[in-house]
Chains A and B, each alone.
Chain A
Amino acid sequence: MARTDIGKLSLILLFAPFALWIALLIILPQLGIGYISLREKVGPGEYTFGFANYIAFLSEPIYWNTLLRTAWMSILVTAMALAVGFPVAYYIAKIAHRRSRAALFLMCLIPLWVSDLVRAFGWIVILRETGLVSSFLQKIGLVSGPVELLYNDATVVMGLVYTVVLFMIVPLVSTLDGMDNSLIEAGYNLGGSRFTVFRRIVVPYAMPGIVAGCIIVFMLTAGSYLTPILLGGKNSMWFTEQIYEQFVTRYNWESGATFGVLLLVFTSFVVWLGLRLTGQSLASTVAKD
């Protein structure tokens, strides 16, 4: 019938841009770096295929140490973002008065619209030797000379938490917002203590938001580039920095692609593990907003 023909045609017309986008910009390029990572240059224009690049990665401790360091620092940053962000999200969603709620939420979002670069630059201005904190400490006589607060791991973690905490707060607010206060009331009414109500009612309810926030934050942290470099200096040992160096500075695409694949596999594994452990799905968490 004519109507089903129109339905089919419009399905094809709508599917075509989607298919082109996903195939040409996502799937094929990922296969492309997979392909390049298996290639080894033996002479000008001559290549052999094998796992040589991966073996090189494993045999060079500085490479896999960097990956491990990036990994555990990303997990640390995620945990800290959750610890810092949860009370804030809870306050916005459940405690703040109706009118101040929107304003607070908006205030929390403002830094989101400012480039990473500007934010990192702001921290530099505050924390470096000639920066605001150092000047202040000298002025009140707490220290005698300038202090350098940049280029250490604590600063990198602090800066990363700053960059990503908003992505934790937004999904948390939107799930907590949907929670009816009567659930908490019922919890108390049935004899729960503050702690058990929080652990047995609030946290399970917020779980999709927690998982979504953690996934986004972890991905953003592991894939971040500017903050570790600007706040941690040249020796920050961040994995994306290695990728950039292989690709742009050394022009060694084969090993750069290998690193890229490793980072992708690693982060995908962590996301998959997180979803698996909490019983959530990608569509129900990340795509919620």
Chain B
Amino acid sequence: MHDLQCESLSKRFGAYTAVDSVSFDVPRGSFFSILGPSGCGKTTLMRMIAGFETPTSGDIRIKGRSVLSTPPNKRPVKMVFQHLALFPMMNVGENIAYGLRCRGENRADIARKVATVLDRVGLPGTAEKQVSQLSGGQKQRIAIARCMVLEPDVLLLDEPLGALDLKLRERMKIELKQLQHQFETTFLYITHDQSEALLMSDNVAVMNAGEFEQIGAPQDLYNNPKTGFVAGFVGDSNRWPGRALSVSDGKVRVAIDGGGEAIALAGDERIAAGGPVELFVRPEVISIGAGSENTLGGTVESLLFNGASSRILVRMANGHLVEVGQAVMDGSVSIAPGETVEIGWSRSHGRAFSVAG
């Protein structure tokens, strides 16, 4: 059973297509993210689901029933806005009670439900507080409570962590995931931040230029990207333009522009010998020293120390700058800028995608 289904959903503004025939299903109780750069159409998609935009074509179904003719104030989806949109002229309790009042529930029920939901988000007894007295994280939880008290079928979240500072954002990621578990409600989460999407979601759809590039579990997207865009957008990656020399058995031999050859997995079916490709290799699979299946030579340019995610920048003979991640910077390996090194990685860790045109 699916809580939310979108079927060939499109939205055009004049000649501009913001959302182009997007289809997906969100299973009940799951955390589903839509990940894409700004301007990719993800906000338009969410606003169509909430009812603030009318689709040009396609259908939206909630619990199997089409909601296209349902006005936004009658849809069983609630939304946490980018800047939360807590009502400044009401206190916390009134904010949460707003939707219940609109439904015309009686006072006693409202008071009870408000108290319960405040408990569940971990802010008991704050009903009388003014919104301006809350911290950023507390506001976040109130915005969620305001929606959850109405027991929606789907909760939409439009980059709600964007306005928080870095530390708080890290904490709220975990907290959001826990809240979703606790409420057992379907979350549809929109973000341009891949770490938010990967960390919290059961499934992620990567969106680009109005279309879905790939839908899958976070590990799947990371390890088996289906397009060059996904390979480049999800996680860090070295990216080199080149040309396919030969294709066989799902493997491609790539001549990297500027010199050097490597063998990699063929990312898609359209790769043909002689055609232009892009080669993606993640920093953490590249190590210093020869002996791997693919080997290239270069000069160490600088060392970037950042704890577990430290990097070595190597300028290769072909002119490209490579980020090498498999580098221990605890002093046991001594590498200094200016040294000539060899870098290598295994064949199954590189991935080549065809380039259109």
The reply to whether the CB of A107 lies closer than 8 angstroms to some CB of chain B is: no
Q: Which residues of chain B have C-beta atoms less than 8 A from A3's C-beta? A: 54, 71
Could you say which residues of chain A place their CB within 8 Å of the CB of B71? 3
Lowest 3 CB-CB distances: which A-B pairs, in order? A1-B54, A3-B54, A3-B71
In the assembled complex, how far is the CB of residue A6 from the closest CB belonging to chain B, in whole angstroms?
A: 10
Q: In the complex, A122→B54 CA distance in Å?
A: 64
Encode A1-28 as 1/0 by CB contact (under 8 A) with B.
1010000000000000000000000000
Binding site for A on B (CB under 8 A): 54, 71
List, in ascending order, chain A residues with CB within 8 A of B54's CB. 1, 3
Q: Range of interface residues on chain A?
A: under 10
Query: Closest chain B residue to A2 by CB distance?
Result: B71
Q: How far is the CA of A10 from the CA of B54 in the complex (A)?
A: 19
**Interface of B: prevailing SS:** loop
Q: Which residues of B contact A1 (CB under 8 A)?
A: 54
Closest Cβ neighbor of B71 among chain A residues: A3
Write 3 A-B pairs (CB below 8 A) sorted by A numbering: A1-B54, A3-B54, A3-B71
In the bound assembly, the distance between CA atoms of A258 and B82 in angstroms comes to 59
A86 CA to B71 CA, complexed, in Å: 54
State how many angstroms separate the Cβ of B47 from the closest Cβ of chain A.
14
Q: Please report the number of residue pairs spanning A and B whose Cβ atoms sit closer than 8 angstroms.
A: 3
The docked-state distance in angstroms from the alpha carbon of A219 to that of B54 is 49
Chain A residues with CB under 8 Å of chain B are: 1, 3
Q: How many angstroms from the CA of A1 to the CA of B54 in the assembled complex? A: 10
Across the interface, name the chain A residue whose C-beta is closest to B69. A2
B68 to chain A, nearest CB (A): 11
**How far is B54's CA from A275's CA once the two chains are assembled, in angstroms?**
43
The docked-state distance in angstroms from the alpha carbon of A200 to that of B259 is: 55
CA gap between A1 and B53 in the complex, in Å = 13
Q: How far is the CB of B57 from chain A (nearest CB, A)?
A: 14
Nearest B residue to A4, CB-CB:
B54
User: Measured between alpha carbons, how far is A39 from B54 in the docked complex, in Å?
Assistant: 58
Q: How far is the CA of A3 from the CA of B51 in the complex (A)?
A: 11
**Complex-state Cα separation, A93 to B71, whole angstroms:** 49
Complex formed: what's the CA distance from A95 to B54 in Å? Answer: 53
Q: Output the least CB separation between A205 and chain B (Å).
A: 31
Taking the closest CB of chain A, its distance from the CB of B127, in whole angstroms, is 35
What is the distance, in angstroms, from B354's C-beta to the closest C-beta of chain A?
43
Minimum CB–CB distance for B14 against chain A, Å: 16
CA distance A124 to B156 in the complex (A): 69
In the assembly, what is the distance between CA of A1 and CA of B68, in Å? Answer: 12
Q: Nearest Cβ distance between residue A2 and chain B, in whole angstroms? A: 8
CA distance A145 to B54 in the complex (A): 85
Say how far B70's CB is from chain A's closest CB, in angstroms. 12
Bound Cα distance A1, B71 (Å): 12
A3 to B54, CA, bound (A): 10
Instruction: Give the complex CA separation of A1 and B69 in angstroms.
Output: 10
Chain B residue with the shortest CB-CB distance to A1: B54
Q: Tell me how far the C-beta of A135 lies from the nearest C-beta in chain B, rounded to whole angstroms.
A: 56
- How distant is the Cα of A132 from the Cα of B71 in the complex, in angstroms? 72
CA distance A246 to B71 in the complex (A): 62
Compute how far the CA of A235 lies from the CA of B54 in the bound complex, rounded to whole angstroms. Answer: 70
Instruction: Output the least CB separation between B213 and chain A (Å).
Output: 32
Q: How far is the CB of B78 from chain A (nearest CB, A)?
A: 20
Rounded to whole angstroms, the CA-CA distance of A3 and B71 in the bound complex is 9
Shortest Cβ gap from A161 to chain B (Å):
43
**Cβ distance A112 to chain B, nearest Cβ, rounded Å:** 30
- The minimal Cβ–Cβ distance linking B357 to chain A, given in whole angstroms, is 40
| Chain B nearest CB, measured from A156 CB (Å) | 50
